[in-house]
Amino acid sequence: MIKVIVSHPGRQHSYQLVYALQEGNMLSKYFTGLWSNPDKFPYNFLKKIKGFENEFKKRYFEKIKDEFIIQNPFFEIKHRFILKTKNKDLKIGIEFDRWVSKKIKNMDFDAFIGYELSSYESFKVCKEKNKICIYDLPSVSYNFQKEIFKKYNKKYNEREIEIKDKELKLADYILAPSEIVKKSLISLGISEKKIIKIPYGVDISKFSPKKEYKKDRILKIIFVGTITWHKGIEILLKAVKDLKKIINVELNLVGKIVNYEILKEYKGLYNYHFFIPHEKLNDFYKENDIFVFPSLIEGFAQVVLEAMASGLPVIVSDRAGSNDAVRDGIDGFIIPPGDVEALKEKIIYFYNNREKIEEMGKNASLNAKNYTWEKYRKNIRKAIMEIWQRYGN
């Protein structure tokens, strides 16, 4: 049986990937940054400190066995909490990668799955050892990103481009979560045979559909995600500003603010919620009528699946990645990125057709069941075994 090392400096979907390999007896080790076991020191002490408990809660997955974990939280603590470093994610990834690359030199394994911006040095070691390099790429390739950054006059980190380019060249296979990520890779000249598309999932045991659909005069809209320009937050705010002049809408924003300057012009047009624990997010979705995610560029927005599983119809851009899972006109609507008028039109449609909120919301919740984490894990194991067989094993 193939033995796979997984390396990820943070969290994201990696817990599910690691668990998939553990279930299939394929996991060798899991290198990660901050891994909080609530029953062990120092986390059993630190979790009692106000402000830390929520962060640590996100950094643990009880189904992954301790014997597979190799952690080093130092890089993240240094750049995120002590130095408050600019471009911290990139620097954390680079230092984490160097640490992992030294560790794996004397380890026995067959394949290595590395996350973007934290795998170049590790891939080089794998090539020296003649091991399979699998690139876990959650975002669109840099050429697509550069196109969007230039269009909106935003600066792009050239160092990121350099590292991603090197990592892609060393990768034998690439895990892509959506069609837009796949297309962005093909546009770079990467062979389609190297790309394995596996969409992420949603925990339908935690996100269940709403039972009651209110038909009040006010239309409640929810956005969940980082409050930043490339998520299309300004597109949403512009739409709501115009709509408030003609219909009764309420906008709820949930997530960490990165670009404060965007919100200044729109004070009083939204309710802001910095943090809602994941276990309570399902209830908050249900308090709203529709979910909007007009992202300008995205690999795969998992929040779209969460909203769908919660019984909300969705309005997403065709650059959200997870728009692959949305049936246009059935689960909600797919609109062009950056199109304020198209977004306003669809919101007005729901405002004037309240019965469609319930109809499409129920459709969405049923469709979300096709995108579970169980299915994701099954597809990961299948993909790894097919790769292993291609290598004659």
Output the DSSP codes for 212-266: -----SSEEEEEES-BSGGGTHHHHHHHHHHHTTTS-EEEEEES-BS-HHHHHTT
Sequence spans of domains, the chain: 4-201+373-390, 219-368
d(CA 340, CA 175): 32
Tens of pLDDT, residue by residue over 215-268, are: 878 999 999 999 999 999 999 999 999 999 999 999 999 999 988 899 999 999
d(CA 100, CA 89): 16
In which residue ranges of the chain is pLDDT below 50?
none
d(CA 132, CA 258): 37
pLDDT in the model for residue 53: 60
pLDDT in the model for residue 77: 79
Architecture of domain 219-368: 3-Layer(aba) Sandwich (3.40)
Domain 4-201+373-390 shares a fold with domain 219-368: yes
Contacts of 42 (CB under 8 A, 6+ apart): none
pLDDT in the model for residue 56: 67
pLDDT in the model for residue 281: 95
pLDDT in the model for residue 276: 86
E-strand ranges in 107-199 read 111-115, 132-136, 173-176, 195-197
Is CATH 3.40.50.2000 correct for 4-201+373-390?
yes
Token output for 2: 């193939």
Of the CA atoms within 13 Å of residue 271, those in its CB half-sphere come to 11
pLDDT in the model for residue 47: 63
pLDDT in the model for residue 54: 63
